[in-house]
Structure 1
Amino acid sequence: MKRTAPLSVAVAVSLAAGVLSAAGSASARDLAANPHADRGLYGTKTPYAPQERPNTYQKPPKGFSPVFTENVARHGSRAMSNSGDGDAVLAVLGVARERGALTDLGTELGPKVQSLLDAAAALGYGNLSARGAQEHRETALRLEQRLPSLFETIEAEHEPVVVKTSGVARAVASANAFTGGLTAGEPELAGLIKAPVTDKNLLYFHKQPQNADYQAYVASDPDLAAVLAEIDADPRTAEAADHVVARLFHDDFTATLTAPARVSFARSLYQLYSAAPDLSVEAPDADLSRFLTARDAQWFAYLDDAEEFYQKGPAFSGRTITYRMAGVLLDDLLAQAEAKASGSSRNGAVLRFTHAEEIEPLAALMGLPGSTEPAEPGRPYSYRNNPWRGADVAPMAANIQWDLYANAPSDGGPATYLVRMLYNEEETAFKASCKPVATGSSFYDLNELKRCLGHG
C-alpha cells in the first residue's frame, strides 16, 4: 500500500484553469555536522550515525578472541526513487507563480526543488549517494578498529570475506563502498574479498514468489487499508498541510486548493524534505528545512512511520505476515556462525547488503529494541503508545552485526563459541528468552542462541 498519491501535474494544470508555531528543523548541513540533530524528522530516510562510542563496548570474557564476523546492512543514503514528488511540487509552484500567489518563502522553494531533482537525475534515481558511500566506508573502518585481531587472522590465514547483495544497484554500490573501506584500512584484504553475489531469496525476499501472501497483504489487506486510512484522516494531517501551504501561497490561491490537494502537496514536499539530507553532497544548496516547521515535519514523519510499522514492522498483534518471511535471513546468520564454529567454513566474514524491507522485518522477528510491540486492536500505532521509529529501526545504512568469539581450552577440549550483537553499532541484547553468559553481559553462547531463536 502506498501513501496518499502526490499531487499530480495534471491536477496542478487543472488548478490553473480554476478547478481547483514551531521552530525550524535542522538543515542538511546541520545534520551532517550533528547526525543526531532532529533525528526523528526524517523517518527511514535519516542518514546513518553509529549509536555507541567505541570505548564503551564490553570486553569479551577472559580467554575469548574474535574468529568471525557477519552483518546485514541496509544500503546507504540515496537519491529518491523518482521525480514524482518533485514534479508535483514544481507544477503547483508554477501555477502559483503565474498567478502572483507565492509568498516570499514560496518564491525560494522552486529553485531548491529543481536543484534536488537535477542532482538526483544526474546521480540516477534510487542510486547510492556520496553520503551513502561514505556511511558504509566509515562503518567498515570502525569494524576493523573494533576487531583488529580478527582481521590480522583473516590476512594471515587467507580467509575469504564473502559479500552478498540483493542485486539492486544501490545495495551493490553499498557493498563496494564497504569493502573499499575495509581495504583502505587493511590493503592486504583486497585479494581475500570475494566479488559480490546476488541472493534475492535472502536479501530481497519481500519481492519473491514465495512471499506472495505478504505482497497481497500490502496490496489489499482490509485491516491494513482501514488503519492507515484512519491514521491519515486524523485532523492533524489537514492542519499540518494547511500550515505548510499557508506559508508558501497567498490566501486567494490557497482557497482554490481542495483539502486533499493540500495534503498531497504537503506530503510530496515532505518526501523531498526528508530526501534532501541524503543528497547533501550532490545538492548542497537544496536544503529544504526552512519550508517545513519541525512540528509539521514530525507529523508527516509519523504518517510515514505508521506505514512502515504496519507494512514492514511489528504491525498487528497476533499476526506475523510482515516479519515471518525474515526467517530466511535469521537462519543464514545462525548457519554462517555455526559453520565457522564447526569448522565447515573457512570464511573470516560474511557481509550482506539489503533494504529497509528486509531490515525492518528482521528487527521485528528478532525482537530488537523498538520492534517488540505490535499494535493492539482498536488502538492504532502512534508515537505515544509505541516506541517504533523508522529513524532508529532502519535509518540509511542500518546494520545488524554478529561477532563470533572462541576460546582455546588449556585441556585441549572443544572450544566454546560466544556471539555478541551490535545493532547500528550499539551492543544489543538478544530477546529476553535468550540468556547471556552472565547477567548484564552482551555475550551469548552460540548453542543458546540456536535454542532461543528456535533453531536448535
Structure 2
Amino acid sequence: MSPPLPLSSMLLALACCTSSALAFDGYYQTKTPYAPQQDPATYAAPPAGFQPIFTQLVARHGARGLTGMKGDAALYAMWQQAAAQDALTPLGRELGPDILALMQANALLGHGVAGIDKPGYGNLTQTGIEEHRQLAVRLLARLPTLFAQVEQDAATAPRQLVTIHSGVDRARDSARFFTQSLLEYAPALAPLLTLPPAPAPYPQGRTPAVQPILQVDGVNRFLLYAHKLAPQTDFVADRANPYSATYAASQAYQHYIRTKRLDTLMTPPARQPAAAAHARQVLERLFTPAFLAQFNGGATSYADTGSYTFTSADGKLTRSMTGNGKTVIRSVNAAAMKLYELYAIAAGMRHEVKADFSRYMPADNARYYASVADHEDFYKKGPSTTDSGGVTWRFAVALREDFFREVDALAAGDLRHAAKLRFTHAEMIIPLASAMGLQQALPPETSYSHADSPWRGQSVSPLAANMQWDVYRNDTGQLIVRLLYNEKETPFKPACDAARIAPGSVFYDYAGLKACYGHVAAR
C-alpha cells in the first residue's frame, strides 16, 4: 500500500477533479445531477491578513433511485395492457423493457456497493456517491491551509469535524461517502471526525406516555428532517425546549400541504390547454390514440398492483416486490407526468440503467413538465406567497440558526470545531434558501410562471445541492464569512449589503451579518 498523500501535495493530485464536472443536458428539475456552479479558480481571494479558521456546509444527498415502486409499476401496468391490445407504436414497444430495467435497477440498487447497507429503492446511485466524494475533494482543495493547520494541531490541540445527518439512509450514506473521501486525501483527520449524540429523549411529554425513541449518534431530525417531524418520534411538550418552535412549525407545514389553499395554488398548470396538448404529444408517440381514448370519462385506470422478482447479475441477491395499489394513473396527463418522473430519475442512474429515457420525453415536453414541477415546488417547498406567513420554510430557521451558532462559538474564542458537515434532503435545502432570504415570495395575486420568475428547482436544489460558509479571521479577531451556494459565491440577502467588507465583496463582516439577520438565540 502506498503511503498517504501529504496534504501539502494534495492540490496537484486534485487538479483534475476540481476543474471538471459532468454535463447533463436535459430538464430534470430537482433530479438534476450535480455540477458546481463556479470554477474554483475564479473564487475571490480573502482580504490580506485573513486566514481560514472554519468551514461548514449543509448538503442534500446525492443522486438516488426512485424512493419506492410506485409510478414505475403503474406505468408498466399501463404498458402491459397496451401490449395486450396491440396498441403500441414501434417506439412504444421499447418502453416496457426499459421501464422493467429501471425497476430492476431500483430494486437491486446498492447491491455489492461497499457502504450501502440495504440494497433497494431510495439508495444512492454511483453518480450520487461520486457527487459527494468530489464535493469533499473540492472542499479540501479550496481550503488547504485550514486543513493543513488542523492536521498539524491534531496531536496538541485537536479540533473536531462534526458530522450530522437526517437519519435517512441516503443522507447517512452521503455523509459516509463524503467523509471517506476526506480521509483518503487527509487521513490524519480521521481521529477528529465526530458524530455528536442525537437530541434526546423524544418524544417527550406524550399522554399517554410513549417510550422515547433513541436515535443513533450523528442524527438530528430537528435540523435536517424538520419537514417531517412526527408525534411518534419528535413530540415536544415543553415550550422552553429549543426545538419546540421547530416542531410546531413542522406540524403547521404538514397541515398546510394538505390544505385546499395549497391545492388551489399548485393546480393551475394542470387546468391549462397546454397540459393536455403536451400529454398527447408525449403519449401518442408510444400508444395508439384509441388506447389513450379509453381514459375518457374516467373508466380506465392503472395502478402499481403487480408482483415482480429481480435477481442481480451475480446471482447473490433476489428481491420479490408487490405494489400496494396506491399510485393510480387515471388520465393522459397523469401518465405523461409519471413518464417524466422516470425520465428525470434516470438521469442520475446512468451507471445502473443503460436505457435512454430521453427517447420517450422530447426536450420541449421535458421543459414543460419541469416548469410544472417548478410551479408546484415553488408553492409547496419554496417561498410561496407573501401572505403565507413563511409556513413553507419556518421549520428551517433552526438550521439557519445552527450556522450562526457555530460562528458565534468562534467569535467567543471556542475553536473546538474546525468544520461542521450536515447531510439532508431537498425538502430542507429549498426552505433554507427562503429562510436565508435568498428566494423571494410572490404576492398572492401573482401566479408563479417560468416566464416571470427565475426560481428553478434545478438551481435551487439539484441532487447534492449545498450551502457552505467559509469563515476567516485576522489578527484583531475580526471574522468574515463567504457564502457558497452550490459552490458559487453568492450574496446573502440584499438587506445585508451593508455588512459586506467592501462594496460588491463576497466577504461579509460577521458581526454585521448577524445583526442583519437578527438575534440568534444560544442553545
TM over 0.5: yes
Correspondence 1:103 to 2:89: yes
Stretches of structure 1 lacking an aligned partner (at least 5 in a row):
1-31, 410-414
Number of the residue aligned with 2:361 = 292
Q: Which of residues 395, 410, 417 in structure 2 aligns to 1:325?
A: 395
Correspondence 1:224 to 2:265: no
Change (3 A) 1:36 1:439: farther
1:213-242 deviations in Å (ceiling 9; x for gaps):
11100012x321112222221111111111
Question: Residue 377 of structure 1: CA displacement?
Answer: 2.3
Number of the residue aligned with 1:122 = 108
1:180-222 deviations in Å (ceiling 9; x for gaps):
11112212112211246000011111112422111100012x3
Number of the residue aligned with 1:272 = 342
Question: Residue 329 of structure 1: CA displacement?
Answer: 0.7
SS of the residue corresponding to residue 384 of structure 2 reads coil
Correspondence 1:186 to 2:174: no
Correspondence 1:140 to 2:140: no
SS of the residue corresponding to residue 341 of structure 2 reads helix
How far, CA to CA, are the matches of 1:360 and 1:140 in structure 2? 21
How far, CA to CA, are the matches of 1:329 and 1:452 in structure 2? 17
Question: Residue 379 of structure 1: CA displacement?
Answer: 2.5
Question: Residue 99 of structure 1: CA displacement?
Answer: 1.3
Question: Residue 36 of structure 1: CA displacement?
Answer: 4.9
Change (3 A) 1:174 1:316: same
Q: Which of residues 467, 477, 480 in structure 2 aligns to 1:418?
A: 480
Number of the residue aligned with 1:17 = none
How far, CA to CA, are the matches of 1:253 and 1:135 in structure 2? 42
How far, CA to CA, are the matches of 1:358 and 1:34 in structure 2? 25
- The 5-angstrom pairing of residues 332-411 of structure 1 reads 332-368=402-438, 371-372=439-440, 374-409=441-476
Number of the residue aligned with 1:160 = 160
Number of the residue aligned with 1:12 = none
TM-score (norm. length: structure 2): 0.77
Q: Which of residues 267, 277, 282 in structure 2 aligns to 1:244?
A: 282
Correspondence 1:309 to 2:378: yes
Report the count of equivalent residues: 413
Counterpart of 2:274, as a letter, is R
How far, CA to CA, are the matches of 1:253 and 1:346 in structure 2? 66
Q: Is the 8 A contact 2:411 2:479 kept in 1?
A: yes
How far, CA to CA, are the matches of 2:452 and 2:361 in structure 1? 25
Change (3 A) 1:125 1:316: same
Number of the residue aligned with 1:431 = 493
How far, CA to CA, are the matches of 2:194 and 2:108 in structure 1? 30
Question: Residue 279 of structure 1: CA displacement?
Answer: 1.2
Q: Is the 8 A contact 1:172 1:353 kept in 2?
A: yes
Counterpart of 1:229, as a letter, is T
How far, CA to CA, are the matches of 2:21 and 2:420 in structure 1? 31
Correspondence 1:35 to 2:31: no
Q: Which of residues 22, 28, 52 in structure 1 aligns to 2:38?
A: 52
Question: Residue 34 of structure 1: CA displacement?
Answer: 4.5
1:264-295 deviations in Å (ceiling 9; x for gaps):
11111111110001111111x12200001111
Number of the residue aligned with 1:200 = 221
Number of the residue aligned with 2:145 = 149
Number of the residue aligned with 1:257 = 295
Number of the residue aligned with 1:282 = 352
SS of the residue corresponding to residue 108 of structure 2 reads helix
Number of the residue aligned with 2:271 = 233
Question: Residue 69 of structure 1: CA displacement?
Answer: 0.3
Number of the residue aligned with 2:508 = 444
Counterpart of 1:116, as a letter, is L
How far, CA to CA, are the matches of 1:110 and 1:340 in structure 2? 57
Number of the residue aligned with 1:68 = 54
Q: Is the 8 A contact 2:54 2:472 kept in 1?
A: yes
Q: Is the 8 A contact 2:58 2:466 kept in 1?
A: yes
Question: Residue 299 of structure 1: CA displacement?
Answer: 1.3
How far, CA to CA, are the matches of 2:48 and 2:387 in structure 1? 42
Stretches of structure 2 lacking an aligned partner (at least 5 in a row):
1-19, 110-119, 196-216, 230-246, 298-329
How far, CA to CA, are the matches of 1:440 and 1:349 in structure 2? 27
Once superposed, what is the RMSD of the aligned Cα atoms?
Answer: 1.5
How far, CA to CA, are the matches of 2:442 and 2:279 in structure 1? 26
TM-score (norm. length: structure 1): 0.88
Q: Is the 8 A contact 1:76 1:397 kept in 2?
A: yes
Counterpart of 1:202, as a letter, is L
Counterpart of 1:266, as a letter, is A
Q: Is the 8 A contact 1:161 1:348 kept in 2?
A: yes
Counterpart of 1:245, as a letter, is L
SS of the residue corresponding to residue 254 of structure 2 reads helix
Counterpart of 1:422, as a letter, is L
Among the aligned pairs, what percent are the same residue?
A: 43
How far, CA to CA, are the matches of 1:35 and 1:353 in structure 2? 24
How far, CA to CA, are the matches of 1:282 and 1:212 in structure 2? 37
Change (3 A) 1:278 1:141: same
How far, CA to CA, are the matches of 1:121 and 1:306 in structure 2? 30
Q: Is the 8 A contact 2:21 2:35 kept in 1?
A: no
Number of the residue aligned with 1:171 = 171
Q: Is the 8 A contact 1:231 1:380 kept in 2?
A: no
Q: Which has the higher helix share?
A: 1
How far, CA to CA, are the matches of 1:406 and 1:229 in structure 2? 49
1:78-132 deviations in Å (ceiling 9; x for gaps):
0111111111111111111111111111011111111111111101111111111
1:361-407 deviations in Å (ceiling 9; x for gaps):
11012122xx22x2222321110121110000000000000011011
